[in-house]
Amino acid sequence: MTRKAQTLFSRVCACMLFLLLASPLSGAEVREYYVSPRGRDTHNGTRTRPWRTLQHAAESASLGSSGTVIHVAPGDYYDMGYCSVSSLVNTTAMVCMQRSGSPTRPITFESEQKWQAHLRCSKSSAMFVLMASYIRIVGFDMSCPAGGSFAGATYGDNGHNEFVNNYLHDFDVLSCSQLGVLNGTIGAQPGSTNIGYHLVSGNIIRHAGAPAGAAFNCNKEHGLYFSDPYDILTNNIISGMIGVGIHSYGGGICHQVISNNTIFNNSQGGVIIENIAAKDSKYWDECENGGRSDYNTVTNNIIVHNGIGQYYKGNYGGIDGRGLSGGGHNVFSNNLIVENYPYETALVAPDASRNQLSGKLDSIFENFQPDPNWAPASPYDFRNYALKSGSVAIDAGTGLCAPDRAQCSPVKDVAGTQRPQGKANDAGAFEFVPSSLRGLFYDSRQGGNCDPNPGRQLKPITQRCWWK
């Protein structure tokens, strides 16, 4: 298959995944395995005899004709191993994945109950090191305060990976690393053909990087750090990064979608989008267009109160596109941009800021809680950033995309609510739902085999499950 044909095929697959947004796999052709804190790696990975570690599952699960699902029971998981592949990666990790799925046979790691499988580490580590493609990570609660830690990254000539509906918090709070909580493809080389096309959707990402202080200033830890063509970053709620909420930076910044995210209280800025292939020899031109940043869509985001570092001032404001060598097809439109320092939007010609919105914090959200890196909101609840009745963000979104796409807005919101609920999609990660119906949509326990009606469970789950 030629690179052009492969690119077209991959684009179709990526769009299908984007529109479905983590639709559950079903049927006899999907091979299912189970992991539990009460399991043993000497077991066979069945429901009644689950494995103990995610790494053993990664190495032992076989690929079904329609894919594989590794179900992870509620509980705490700490087991780490060393992950080393030539000069590509050397680190400790909870999962060192070296086997790929395929477009029709993905490999899925999924928390049986949303955010109830807790992945934890006590030293410099990564959660998911993916030297593989078509891997899906769904519904986990991950935290690793130790220095040099992150939740996930793809390495080498790999792409098409997904992180969906995870709660990622308190990473690398003891040091200052130039990486993100979630990262795109690292270490791709000229000639790589399988990079990019990542999907990052519906994640709650908060607090990464050492809090800035008089003796130690850090400005490099980011929420999402993606540098690949055709990456889709949508419906995420990102706060308390010591760096930037979304840092789209590298040699492959083209055909990306950054849409319907809620980004606030990040010390250096909200969104940076910059292709540097033409400026820095270590970044090769993944877009194959002379180093231009083109065909990117940045729409329908809520970006408020970024660039507010405690001991230093942020540099990048709300949306920073000053480093672009634009090709004339980037779209920056219908974002709600409020109280960012030192500016709300900074672009260069021929890119233009269209239909941007403004308002006051107390009139946008249900219950806005400041959540900077150095002063955690307590108690934190991501649902506080749902839209208030009358918010300027309601029906304020656009379906406008870069010319290469017909669809770039997500069909559901961070809570699984169908978009739109009104005349048009709302801005931000939440679609507005009247308070009388909110319990049906916003319950964080939605999903899992113990919930017979996912997304509509209003009472505590009481039925007995396989892991008890």
Q: What is the pLDDT of residues 7-65, one digit of tens each?
A: 443 444 444 444 444 444 444 589 999 999 999 999 999 999 999 999 999 999 999 99
pLDDT of residue 375: 86
Q: How far apart are CA 152 and CA 277, in angstroms?
A: 24
pLDDT of residue 95: 97
Cα dist. 79→92, 119, 172, 181 in Å? 10, 9, 18, 19
- Phi, psi angles (nearest 5°) of residue 264: -155, 155
Q: Enumerate the β-bridge partners of residue 258.
A: 233, 298
Mean pLDDT by groups of 10 residues along the chain of 468 residues: 42 44 53 98 97 98 96 97 87 95 97 97 90 98 90 96 97 85 92 94 94 64 95 97 94 95 96 83 84 92 93 85 81 96 90 92 92 86 94 96 91 94 96 74 42 33 32
What is residue 242's three-state secondary structure?
coil
Cα dist. 343→156, 175, 315, 320 in Å? 36, 28, 9, 9
Q: Which residue has the tokens 């209280």?
A: 265
Cα dist. 72→249, 285, 448 in Å? 33, 39, 10
Closest among 235, 274, 143, 185 to 427, alpha carbons compared: 235
Side-chain-side CA neighbours of 385 within 13 Å: the count stands at 30
- Name the DSSP letter for residue 300: S
For the chain, give every domain's residue range. 3-382
pLDDT of residue 442: 53
pLDDT of residue 24: 41
Q: Do 359 and 324 contact (CB within 8 A), yes or no?
A: no
pLDDT of residue 455: 35
pLDDT of residue 450: 37
Q: Name the residue type at position 434.
A: P
Q: Give the 3-state secondary structure percentages of the chain, helix then strand then coil, rounded to 5.
A: 10, 30, 60
pLDDT of residue 441: 53
Burial class (CB in 10 A: 0-12, 13-18, 19+), 465: middle
Give residue 345's Cα distance to chain centre: 23
Q: Is the peptide bond before 420 cis (omega within 30 degrees of 0)?
A: yes
Question: Sign of the C-alpha dihedral, residues 350, 351, 356, 362?
Answer: negative
pLDDT of residue 436: 60
Per residue in 313-345, pLDDT (tens digit) is 788 999 998 877 777 899 999 999 999 999 999
Cα dist. 264→13, 125, 223, 368 in Å? 32, 26, 11, 10
Q: Enumerate the β-bridge partners of residue 326.
A: 293
pLDDT of residue 216: 57
* From the candidate CATH numbers 3.30.499, 3.30.70, 2.160.20, 2.60.120, the one assigned to the domain spanning 3-382: 2.160.20
Q: Do 63 and 105 contact (CB within 8 A), yes or no?
A: yes
pLDDT of residue 142: 97
